[in-house]
Amino acid sequence: MKLGKPGTELSTGLSRHCNKARFVVFLFLLGCMLLFAGCAGRKKEMHVEGEMQQEASGFVGSRGNGEGTGKRKVHVWAVYWDNEDVVRRMENLQEEVDGISYFAAYFDSEKKMFLPENVMGMKAAIEDSGKNGKMESYLTFVNDLLKKEGGSSLKDKDLLYYLFSSKESRQRHISDILEMTEQGGFDGVEIDYEAMKKDMELWKLFTSFVNELYGKTSERGLKLRVILEPGAPVEELGFVKGPEYVFMCYNLYGYGTEPGPKADENFLISMVEKGKALPGETYFAVANGGFDFIKASGETEQISTEEAILRQSQAGDNKAIRRDEKSGCKVYSYRDSNGREHEVWYADDETLNFWYGILEREGAKGLSLWRLGG
């Protein structure tokens, strides 16, 4: 065997070693590239799935309208006819929920308050799931009345006169409220009595009721929330300082109107301004879901976010889906099986983020969402 020049074997061995090292590095880099591509693909899939789930959930995860990425606290409503999904929806929440209102106690045909069994079942399910956390729980009372002949009268105005007409009747009603609230183990009372409109006599009776109720809830160590419709004449009333007053900032458009959003920027700004007439800090509630307007007949159907997404998918690609600039709502049109033209306006997560951002920008602190899920 002919030997080479001194150092040749060492150089050749080093060269082979370097080539081998380069090959190992190449395999490592190739593996990283494949791993990154796989993760990116999975991340994209997860993002798309998460986006669909988030949109259907009706909740937002971070502050909108330039407010950063911090968690925001919201108060939510849980309704008795949707309690099968309540725990699952609580698990999917991205906000920090500081309070939950269980909806709702109402009245039988004898004008006696009663609580549907599902309400307590829903409360127990949330508490058993460990999702209750530090949330304050409220029992909501509404002026819905069952009729003797069947059916019900929603937002019954005559019922309110019956409950508020005298100091004695108000005290009886307050006593019944406190008893039901304490027996159910709730932290507070929420009053959601509606449809008083421009009846100033009834509004004054209602104000007396709220002020008297607050005195009693304070004695018992219970919180009090009072829900107010957008048209409530709060400037002319003397509500006591202490309760949480919550303006319903939705249904700007809906039943009996032309197609449009539940809220828009100007409407929300006007509500914050109106809230300044109330004593203490005012809270504001927005709503997910929306309305399906039938153009020719003027019929209107209230639908959930999930239902709006479902109808949107059934509508196909023949109609453009757009986002309204003033309200942040999604809007689309479709034709049903009877050939009727529909226009749908609804709020998804981006809409709620937009609305909350406006309220926060205008100085609102307390935010609420109607409703959990849907």
| Confidence bin at 134 (pLDDT 50/70/90) | confident
CA pair distance 113, 341, nearest whole angstrom? 42
Is residue 296, in this structure, part of any structural domain at all?
no
Residue 262 has pLDDT above 90, yes or no: yes
Lowest-confidence segment of 32-36, 135-139, 311-315 by average pLDDT: 32-36
pLDDT in tens, 234-261: 999 999 999 999 999 999 999 999 999 9
How many domains, in total, are found in the chain?
1
Question: Could you tell me the two tokens for 181?
Answer: 């609230």
- % of the chain beyond a pLDDT of 70: 78
Residues 196, 203 contacting (CB under 8 angstroms): yes
Q: Is the dihedral of CA 243, 249, 252, 254 positive or negative?
A: negative
Q: State the average pLDDT over residues 208-228.
A: 98
pLDDT on residue 64: 43
289 domain residue, yes or no: no
Helix 8-57 and helix 349-361, axial crossing angle in degrees, nearest 10: 80
pTM value? 0.81
Q: Is 288 domain-assigned? A: no
HSE of 191, CA atoms in CB hemisphere, 13 A: 22
Give the HSE-up count for residue 336: Cα atoms under 13 Å, Cβ half-sphere: 12
CATH of the domain at 167: 3.20.20.80
Q: Do the domain assignments include residue 294?
A: no
Neighbour-count burial of 116, counting CB atoms closer than 10 A to its CB (0-12 exposed, 13-18 middle, 19+ buried): middle
Q: Is the pLDDT of residue 13 over 90?
A: no
Q: What is the pLDDT averaged over residues 309-328?
A: 84
Per DSSP, helices labelled H in the chain are: 8-57, 86-91, 117-129, 157-164, 167-183, 200-220, 265-275, 305-315, 349-361
- pLDDT attached to residue 66: 39
Instruction: Give Dmax over CA atoms of the chain in angstroms.
Output: 122
Is it the case that residue 17 has pLDDT exceeding 90?
no
In a domain, 209, yes or no: yes
Residue 191 domain boundaries: 67-248
In a domain, 103, yes or no: yes
Would residue 162 count as lying in a domain?
yes
148 pLDDT more than 70: yes
Q: What is the per-residue pLDDT for 318?
A: 53
**Chain segment 267-283, per-residue pLDDT in tens:** 999 999 999 999 988 99
Q: Is the pLDDT of residue 190 over 50?
A: yes
For residue 255, being part of any structural domain is answered with no
Q: What is the pLDDT of residue 82?
A: 79
pLDDT band for position 322 (cuts 50, 70, 90): very high
The pLDDT assigned to 312 comes to 85
